[in-house]
């Protein structure tokens, strides 16, 4: 399976279908994923808590890969995630980027960036245009 198909399978099986038992099939035993939350590297088993926590806030997710680049050991992808809020079913759309190094056909390390600011704005837990407010010196405190 090529790296792009692998990534699509990861999102489909684990994130969309909710098959948390499959997480170990996608990672090497000592792999780590950085960037999901600042200062926190996730181990494969951490996704067993992260994914349900995020999925309680949204439903019907789809992941579209807009661009990707593969090298011998690496895959980089630009994604758009579309879903609905769990409570009102309002549409949500945010972008993400992932960079993954593969070893023996599985993810050995990953660097992620998800536009969680936009995600939380669309959920209504941050004010609209939060970035503009923050840049103007406003605070939520």
Domain residue ranges in the chain: 3-135
Question: pLDDT at position 37, please?
Answer: 75
Q: How far apart are CA 3 and CA 73, in angstroms?
A: 9
Structure confidence by residue, pLDDT tens digits, 6-28: 999 999 999 999 999 999 999 99
Q: Is the pLDDT of residue 1 over 80?
A: no
Question: pLDDT at position 60, please?
Answer: 93
Token pair belonging to 76? 């980089």
Query: What's phi and psi for 127, nearest 5 deg?
Result: -70, 155
CB 35 within 8 A of CB 24: no
Structure confidence by residue, pLDDT tens digits, 103-118: 999 999 999 999 999 9
Structure confidence by residue, pLDDT tens digits, 65-119: 999 999 999 999 999 999 999 999 999 999 999 999 999 999 999 999 999 999 9
**Is the domain defined by 3-135 classed in CATH 1.10.760.10?**
no
Token pair belonging to 29? 């035993």
Q: Is the pLDDT of residue 38 over 80?
A: no
Is beta strand 27-37 parallel, antiparallel or unpaired with respect to 74-85?
A: unpaired
| pLDDT band at residue 35 using 50, 70 and 90 as cut-offs | confident
Q: pTM of the full predicted structure?
A: 0.90
Question: pLDDT at position 101, please?
Answer: 97
Q: Exposed, middle or buried by CB within 10 Å (0-12, 13-18, 19+), for 82?
A: middle
What is the per-residue burial (b if ≥16 Cβ within 10 Å, else e) of 5-29? ebbbebbebbbeeeebeebeebbbe
Is beta strand 106-114 parallel, antiparallel or unpaired with respect to 27-37?
A: parallel
CB 97 within 8 A of CB 78: yes
């Amino acid at each position: 399976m090529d790296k792009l198909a692998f990534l699509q399978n990861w999102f489909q099986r684990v994130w969309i279908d909710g098959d948390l038992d499959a997480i170990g099939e996608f990672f090497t035993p000592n792999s780590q994923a950085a960037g999901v939350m600042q200062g926190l590297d996730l181990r494969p088993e951490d996704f067993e808590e992260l994914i349900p926590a995020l999925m309680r806030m949204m439903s019907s997710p789809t992941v579209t890969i807009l661009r990707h680049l593969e090298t011998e050991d690496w895959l980089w992808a630009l994604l758009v995630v579309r879903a609905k809020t769990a409570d009102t079913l309002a549409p949500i759309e945010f972008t993400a980027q992932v960079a993954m190094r593969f070893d023996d056909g599985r993810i050995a390390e990953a660097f992620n960036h998800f536009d969680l600011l936009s995600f939380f704005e669309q959920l209504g837990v941050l004010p609209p245009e939060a970035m503009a407010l923050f840049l103007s010196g406003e605070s939520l405190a």
